[in-house]
Amino acid sequence: MRKLFLLLVIVALVYFARPLWEEPVGEYVDLSFLDTVENAIGNLADGPDVTEALDEAKEFTTRFASQLQSLVRSDTAEMPEAVEKPELSETDSVFAIHNVTIGMSKEEAQVKVGLPLRLMKNEYGTDWHSYHTNYQNYVLLAYDKDGNVNGMFTNQNLISSTEGITMASNKEEVRSQFGVPLKSLQKGNVQYILDTREEYDLFKVGDLYITVFYDIHEESTVTALQVIHEDLEEDRPEIYAAPDDELREGYEYLLFELTNSARIQRELPLLKWDEQAMLTARKHSEDMAENEYFSHTNKEGESPFDRMSDDGINFFVAGENLAYGQYSSIFAHEGLMNSIGHRENIVKPDFGYLGVGAAFNSENQPFYTANFFNR
C-alpha cells in the first residue's frame, strides 16, 4: 500500500503541477506524455483499494503545487511601494517635465528630481541621466558643458505645457497647437526623410526640437515626449551615432529602463536585469548586423528558445522582441509598444527577467534583441 501511495504521489505531482507551466511552455516542449499520465491516474483510480491513497496523494500534491507556485513568484520582482506623483506647476516654457525646463541648471533640476540612478550614453554624444523611484516618476535629462539642461524625456504623466498639451491629448490636438510636423531633418549635406509612420511627430518650436510620441492602440494619445535644444541637435553630425561600447551599453540599459517604466504604469511587476540573457541577446544582434538579416530564427535555424537554452538559461516561459534601424532606444521602445505582439511581451505579467543586447551594422544602424523569460 505504501509503494502504491508513493507511486500515486509521483504521478499526481506531474498532473497537478501542470497548470504552473503547461501553457507558457506549450509552444516549446512536447507535453503529449501527460495524456498517458492522465490515463494512468484514471485507470488506477478505478481500483477499490486505491481510492483513499489517491485522495491523500491529491491533497499532498495540491499543497506542493501551491508552494511551488509561491516559489516561482517569489523569484521574480515584486510590485514596489507606490510613489506619489509630483504636483505639476504652471510653466512659462513650451514644455516642462517634472517641473524641469530646458536651460535649468543641474542643481535646480535635481532639487526637483533627485539624484540620477544611472548615466547612459545617447545618440547626441552626451549622457541621459536617469531619475526615478522604482521606475515611477521616470525622467531622463541631459546637460550641456555648463551644466544646464539641454535634453529631456519622459513616458509618464509628468508633462506641463503653455499649450495645454498633456498625456491625455491626442495627435489632432497636438498638431492643432504646433502645426505641421517636420518631414525631414538636415544633417550636414544630407537630408533625412523621417519615417514616422504616424507614430510620432517632430516639431521645431523656437530653439527646441520637440518629438511627441503617440500610442496608436489608445486613440493616438500622447505616450511620451522628448525635448532637445537646437544646439544639441545641431551638434549631432548624422542621424545615426558613431557606435562604441559605451553607446551600445547605453542603448541596452535604456531599452530595459523604458520597458520597466511602461510596466510600472500598468501596475505590473518590474523585470530584473539578467546578464546572461543580455549576452545571448547581444550575440543575436551582432549576428544579424554582421550577416545582414533580421529574424528571430538565425542562419543555423535556431530559435530564441534554442539560443537561450544553449547558453544555460533555464525558463518556463520566454519571449523575444527585435528592433532594427531606429535612431535610438527611445524610438525603438515606442515603436515596439505600437506593435501589438511586441507590446504583449513588454507588458506580459508572467515575465520576471530581461536582457537586452544591441549591435550596429556598417551604416551605424542599431539592432536590438530583448530576451524576456521567467524561471
Residue 362 lies in a domain: yes
| 56, 100, 118, 149 from 109: Cα distances, Å | 64, 6, 16, 8
The per-residue pLDDT for 42 is 31
The per-residue pLDDT for 54 is 41
Domain boundary among 17, 45, 73: 73
Residue 208 in this model has a pLDDT that exceeds 50: yes
pTM: 0.81
Average pLDDT score over the chain: 85
Residues 184 and 155 in one domain: yes
| Per-residue pLDDT tens over the stretch 166-191 | 999 999 999 999 999 999 999 989 99
Residue 86 in this model has a pLDDT that exceeds 90: yes
The per-residue pLDDT for 2 is 53
Domain boundary among 73, 106, 121: 73
Residues 44 and 159 in one domain: no
Residue 211's CB: how many other CB atoms inside 10 A? 22
The DSSP string of 95-123 is EEETTB-TT-BHHHHHHHH-S-SEEEE-T
Residues 227 and 251 in one domain: no
Q: Which comes out higher in pLDDT, residue 315 or 6?
A: 315
Instruction: Retrieve residue 372's grid coordinates.
Output: 524576456
| Per-residue pLDDT tens over the stretch 112-148 | 999 999 999 999 999 999 999 999 999 999 999 999 9
Q: What ranges in the chain are assigned the alpha helix state H?
A: 2-17, 22-25, 33-45, 51-74, 106-113, 171-178, 230-235, 245-265, 275-291, 304-310, 329-337, 340-346
| Residue that has been written with the C-alpha cell 551594422 in this structure | 361
Residues 223 and 272 in one domain: no
Q: How does residue 99 score in pLDDT terms, banded at 50, 70 and 90?
A: very high
Residues 108 and 212 in one domain: yes
Residue 246 in this model has a pLDDT that exceeds 50: yes
Residue 40 in this model has a pLDDT that exceeds 70: no
**Average pLDDT estimate for 71-100:** 83
Residue 4 in this model has a pLDDT that exceeds 90: no
Residues 218 and 258 in one domain: no
Residue 1 in this model has a pLDDT that exceeds 60: no
Residues 126 and 197 in one domain: yes
Residue 59 in this model has a pLDDT that exceeds 90: no
Give the separation between CA 183 and CA 8, rounded to whole angstroms: 68
Give the separation between CA 295 and CA 284, rounded to whole angstroms: 9
Give the separation between CA 145 and CA 166, rounded to whole angstroms: 30
Residue 85 lies in a domain: no
Residues 124 and 10 in one domain: no
Q: How does residue 76 score in pLDDT terms, banded at 50, 70 and 90?
A: low
Residue 184 lies in a domain: yes
The CA-to-CA distance between both ends of the chain, in Å, stands at: 36
Residue 315 lies in a domain: yes
The per-residue pLDDT for 78 is 72
Q: How does residue 278 score in pLDDT terms, banded at 50, 70 and 90?
A: very high
Residues 99 and 205 in one domain: yes
State the burial class of residue 176 (Cβ atoms within 10 Å of its Cβ: 0-12, 13-18, 19+): exposed
Residue 251 lies in a domain: yes
The long-range contacts involving 24-30, CB below 8 angstroms and separated by at least 24 positions, are 24/316, 24/317, 24/350, 24/374, 25/315, 25/316, 25/317, 28/305, 28/318
Residue 63 in this model has a pLDDT that exceeds 70: no
CATH number of residue 296's parent domain = 3.40.33.10
Residue 78 lies in a domain: no
Assign 144 to helix, strand or coil.
coil
Residue 80 lies in a domain: no
Return the CA Rg of the chain. Answer: 25
State the burial class of residue 263 (Cβ atoms within 10 Å of its Cβ: 0-12, 13-18, 19+): buried
The per-residue pLDDT for 74 is 41
Name the least confident of 1-5, 12-16, 302-306.
Answer: 12-16
Residue 208 lies in a domain: yes
Residues 191 and 303 in one domain: no
Count how many domains the chain has. 3
| Residue that has been written with the C-alpha cell 509561491 in this structure | 70
- Containing structural domain, residue 50: 1-73
Residues 57 and 143 in one domain: no
Q: Which of 5, 14, 105 is nearest to 55 (CA)?
A: 5
Residues 229 and 254 in one domain: no
